[in-house]
Structure 1
Amino acid sequence: MTNGEFNKLIVGSEEWCSFPDIHIPAVKARVDSGAKTSSLHAFNINTFRKGTELWVSFEVHPLQNNRKVTIRCEAKAVDRRSVKSSTGISEKRYVIQTTLNLNGQQWPIELTLANRDSMGYRMLLGREAMIGRMLVDPSSSFCLGELNQDKLNEYYGSTSNQTSGLKIGLLASNPDLYSNRRLMEAGEERGHEMIFLNIKQCYMKLDAENPEVHYRGGHLLSSLDAVIPRIKPSVTFYGCALTRHFESLDTYTLNSAEAIAQSRDKLYSLQLLLKNGLDIPTTGFANSPMDTNDLIEMVGGAPLIVKLLEGAQGRGVVLAETKKAAESVINAFKSLRANLLVQEFIKEARGKDLRCFVIDGKVVASIERQASPGEFRANIHQGGTASVVKVTAEEKKLAIKASKTLGLKVAGVDIIRSDKGPLLLEVNSSPGLEGIETATGRDIAGEMIRAIEKKLNWKPAMPEAVATNNLETEQV
């Protein structure tokens, strides 16, 4: 071992560090020499000017598995670069330069700012920050010392949970999905009692004088202030029936059963949108194979899109590049007695579309989704990428009017840019949070909880609560 190596820090796979310039006294870092650039958890990221310099303000939850503690930071932006995570989602991230303090030694490093709620560690220490300064022993942890809870309480104060707010049920199917975890966390961090309700384990009593909803084991769900329906397509009928029953009990639902049912019927929702003067790609629908040829010509011929009415997250959507291929796909779907739409192909979109997230009649965030190589449709669930985009006033107006037309208080509105102007693709009543929160750094789950508070005239008294623990690494 050389003299230089004797002077290097020996670190494990995880270590505690701090950032004095942005007032973070302690954060646990995942040490990962496979990642080039270091990354810090950040949300509510906004830019502003100090003279001619671009700065960013952002908020940080510095403690792993805890979203009660929030620190607001400001730093000069030194770059904005494209980053691709291990999940395959890429987005543009702001880069800051700040001082890293590790075991009393300090030096400047670059940090990309990213929402790391889907990952376990609030900080990722990449190899650019390590070069010439440390050696990694991946079999060890906290080679530079561990911080106990007393020390963390000294830095951040007590972080015990309190629930003095509303009682909110999350009506969904899988508690481990990112969106469902985030909604549970967002409610808890604002002092509410959050209850996960598995749709299939709820059942109803229909009675004129005493209607009820019961949960597994006979537990009576009678004291909920609000319900957030997150209903997957395969249980739409029963999920809407439950939501409707909660409404009959005067429980506030973030989206109504009627609005969800309308949005899930793709044909009916398109008819409603058109009736209200909203533009969509030219679309055809038929029930007989004899109409296949005219159906194809109706939308301008091939290439065209064939969609299953019951499809979700890009499944059941096929690009037919020739008339013969279109006939084969349409007749194959019809032979299975599947309801389908055919839609004109917007070539100039180049595999891109927009997702506008609407809450209470306002676009709170928007992203542009790019199809993965070889695909025609943008879909981050199938390897596509997402990046922050500034939508036009016309696109915002389109998204807001679409959600209002279907009666949705929360909606993911998909728009495609064409030579004719923006066109509506569809409106989703249970839009996913991971892609848009990761790309924008916005606390969308928190915005949904605040919409409930506003409707029920509840004034927030608590800051933040609990987070996730799903280890992932990223590469720049």
Structure 2
Amino acid sequence: MSSTTLKIIGSEEWCTFTDLGIPAIKARIDSGAKTSSMQASNITLIEGSNGKRISFEVHPIQENRSIAIQCSANVFDKRLVKSSSGVAESRYVIKSLVTIGENTFEIELTLTNRDSMEFKMLLGREALNERYMIDSSKIFIESTLKQNDIYEKYKHLTKGKSGLKIALLASNKELFSNKRIMEAGIARGHEMVFLNVEQAYMKFDAKEPQVRYRGGNVVDEFDAIIPRIKPSVTFYACALLRQFDAMGAYCLNSAEAITQSRDKLQATQLFAKHEIQIPITGFANSPLDTKDLIKMVNGAPLIIKLLESTQGKGVVLAETTKAAESVINAFKSVKTNILVQEFIKEANGQDIRCFVVGGKVVASMQRQAAKGEFRANIHQGGSASRIKITLEERKLAIKAAKMLRLPVAGVDIIRSNKGPLLLEVNSSPGLEGIENATGLDIANIMIEAIEKKLKLKQQ
């Protein structure tokens, strides 16, 4: 076909996959990608007498997890595909009919978790060849959908309210984790309300306790509160949680549990008391004890942690005894409390994050530190991948969360020659890394935990 007879499409177009039950999904037209790809989660292989099939879930609308479509298709192939970031992953390949404007044709689709990407679908050059030319300066040349059109196409998948009113208590509505929890609650038919910690205040009264919002508005009663609290507002946010508790709301993580988990010294003492294996850790008040403190944790290299550190910030590797003495004494000179901890060399910059909900490990990922870093932290340029943990690691994660009385927790474990060791427990664990690494809908699992606690039966 000559270039003069090729149709022109924009850099973005609406696609329909009738055989998958997807009436509209926005695709980025990407001639740099060979094969087309689509966002898919909860991918399950089904082996039958007629060959292999897979079932999977698609969230077709950008930044909206409240609409989910269950799909199934025959497995055409399984390939190693390298993403734009250079990471190779094994993906299932299916064939499906796609409709763009008035044209319908068959294409190959690789299925991958694209939740962190801007588009739920990429249309690659194999689908474009001998059919289209791209005008990158335009979008939606073949078809245009307004918001009302999208609503009409998906209104049969929109759930009605099921009775629960849930508040997300946090500081930034735009954070990935907070958006995901709001979407998951809406998807399950609940009324979700975002409450900014720093815009709420309290009235203490034996007969009529209240929480008010900036401007004097009285906050309505909630069935449940999901706390997502940044360290700098822990004290105030926990006061709010106690107030909501007094008003009869169920708090997914209680103020007492959060406060205890944020006190790294107390938490470390509790771990040791309950025979939870941790790296050898020391704590001292005076610089006069620095030399023995270093010896106590098996010498340099060693880890120095600020008691209020979070997401790998405030954690230092001292590679020599002299460096360790300098850092420890510098912190002591400004009256900053620190923990000193043995360095687990054999971990090779890796740790494991176990996500615990309701006394079960629902997901786990292995994190690899960025080159030149010692701490496996995806917030500082590290990478994450799904991992199957051992029974011993699973028991350790569950015990640590239970000991701190946290229904929801991110439990960090490191593998050592002595077996798994507990690093720390996070009471407001992020969802982005673990959902992207595992393809699991952790936000949905958190909402389900609230339903179970409140004995709500889903319609």
- The answer to whether TM tops 0.5 is yes
Q: Is the 8 A contact 2:9 2:142 kept in 1?
A: yes
| Deviation by residue 1:97-153 (Cα, 9 ceiling, x = unmatched) | 32352432423324131142x444321223454355432211111222234678656
Question: Does 2:390 match 1:387?
Answer: no
Question: Does 2:117 match 1:107?
Answer: no
Aligned partner (choices 90, 95, 110) of residue 98 of structure 1: 95
Question: Does 2:83 match 1:79?
Answer: no
Distance in 2 (alpha carbons) for counterparts of 1:356 and 1:343: 21
* Partner residue, 1:373: 371
* Partner residue, 1:247: 245
Aligned partner (choices 241, 250, 256) of residue 254 of structure 2: 256
Q: Is the 8 A contact 1:22 1:98 kept in 2?
A: no
Question: Does 2:408 match 1:410?
Answer: yes
Higher mean alpha-carbon deviation, 149-158 vs 103-112, is at: 149-158
| Deviation by residue 1:144-188 (Cα, 9 ceiling, x = unmatched) | 223467865675444667434211111111111011111111111
* Partner residue, 2:230: 232
Q: Is the 8 A contact 2:158 2:187 kept in 1?
A: no
Q: Is the 8 A contact 1:110 1:129 kept in 2?
A: no
Distance in 2 (alpha carbons) for counterparts of 1:19 and 1:302: 59
Aligned partner (choices 188, 191, 194) of residue 190 of structure 1: 188
Distance in 1 (alpha carbons) for counterparts of 2:221 and 2:261: 28
Distance 1:453 1:80, change over 3 A: farther
Higher mean alpha-carbon deviation, 247-256 vs 93-102, is at: 93-102
Distance 1:325 1:109, change over 3 A: same
Secondary structure, in 3 states, of the residue corresponding to 2:437?
A: helix
Distance in 2 (alpha carbons) for counterparts of 1:155 and 1:199: 37
* Partner residue, 1:466: none
* Partner residue, 1:326: 324
Distance in 1 (alpha carbons) for counterparts of 2:332 and 2:232: 20
Distance in 2 (alpha carbons) for counterparts of 1:336 and 1:77: 64
Secondary structure, in 3 states, of the residue corresponding to 2:429?
A: coil
Secondary structure, in 3 states, of the residue corresponding to 2:415?
A: strand
Q: Is the 8 A contact 2:76 2:95 kept in 1?
A: no
If the length of structure 1 is used for normalisation, what is the TM-score?
Answer: 0.89
Distance in 2 (alpha carbons) for counterparts of 1:190 and 1:114: 21
Deviation, structure 1 residue 242: 1.1
Secondary structure, in 3 states, of the residue corresponding to 1:316?
A: strand
Count of residue correspondences = 456
Distance in 2 (alpha carbons) for counterparts of 1:83 and 1:408: 38
Higher mean alpha-carbon deviation, 145-154 vs 246-255, is at: 145-154
Q: Is the 8 A contact 2:35 2:108 kept in 1?
A: no
* Partner residue, 1:469: none
For structure 2, the residue ranges without an aligned partner over 5 or more in a row are none
Deviation, structure 1 residue 12: 0.7
Distance in 2 (alpha carbons) for counterparts of 1:131 and 1:375: 44
Distance in 2 (alpha carbons) for counterparts of 1:83 and 1:176: 29
Deviation, structure 1 residue 329: 1.7
* Partner residue, 1:212: 210
Higher mean alpha-carbon deviation, 184-193 vs 356-365, is at: 184-193
Question: Does 2:291 match 1:303?
Answer: no
Higher mean alpha-carbon deviation, 376-385 vs 5-14, is at: 5-14
Once the two structures are superposed, the pairs formed by residues 155-170 of structure 1 within 5 Å of their partners are: 156-158=154-156, 162-170=160-168
Deviation, structure 1 residue 49: 3.1
| Deviation by residue 1:364-388 (Cα, 9 ceiling, x = unmatched) | 1111111111111111111111111
Secondary structure, in 3 states, of the residue corresponding to 2:309?
A: coil
Q: Which has the higher contact order (CA 8 A, sep 6+)?
A: 1
Deviation, structure 1 residue 69: 3.4
Q: Is the 8 A contact 2:65 2:180 kept in 1?
A: no
Secondary structure, in 3 states, of the residue corresponding to 1:45?
A: strand
Secondary structure, in 3 states, of the residue corresponding to 1:369?
A: strand
Distance in 1 (alpha carbons) for counterparts of 2:444 and 2:61: 18
* Partner residue, 1:467: none
* Partner residue, 2:417: 419
Distance in 2 (alpha carbons) for counterparts of 1:347 and 1:216: 50
Higher mean alpha-carbon deviation, 39-48 vs 304-313, is at: 39-48
Distance in 1 (alpha carbons) for counterparts of 2:329 and 2:130: 64
Q: Is the 8 A contact 2:67 2:187 kept in 1?
A: no
Aligned partner (choices 334, 341, 344) of residue 343 of structure 1: 341
For structure 1, the residue ranges without an aligned partner over 5 or more in a row are 462-476
Q: Is the 8 A contact 1:45 1:442 kept in 2?
A: no
Distance 1:78 1:325, change over 3 A: farther
If the length of structure 2 is used for normalisation, what is the TM-score?
Answer: 0.92
Higher mean alpha-carbon deviation, 239-248 vs 15-24, is at: 15-24
* Partner residue, 1:440: 438
Deviation, structure 1 residue 27: 1.6
Distance in 1 (alpha carbons) for counterparts of 2:60 and 2:172: 27
Q: Is the 8 A contact 2:182 2:192 kept in 1?
A: yes
Distance in 1 (alpha carbons) for counterparts of 2:51 and 2:304: 49
Once the two structures are superposed, the pairs formed by residues 345-364 of structure 1 within 5 Å of their partners are: 345-364=343-362
Distance in 2 (alpha carbons) for counterparts of 1:137 and 1:21: 28
Secondary structure, in 3 states, of the residue corresponding to 1:140?
A: coil
AA aligned to 1:439 is A
Distance 1:149 1:293, change over 3 A: closer
AA aligned to 1:376 is F
Distance 1:69 1:194, change over 3 A: closer
Higher mean alpha-carbon deviation, 413-422 vs 334-343, is at: 334-343
What is the RMSD of the two structures over their aligned residues, measured on CA atoms?
Answer: 2.5
* Partner residue, 1:41: 39
Q: Is the 8 A contact 1:115 1:441 kept in 2?
A: no
* Partner residue, 2:454: 456
* Partner residue, 2:24: 26
Higher mean alpha-carbon deviation, 421-430 vs 147-156, is at: 147-156
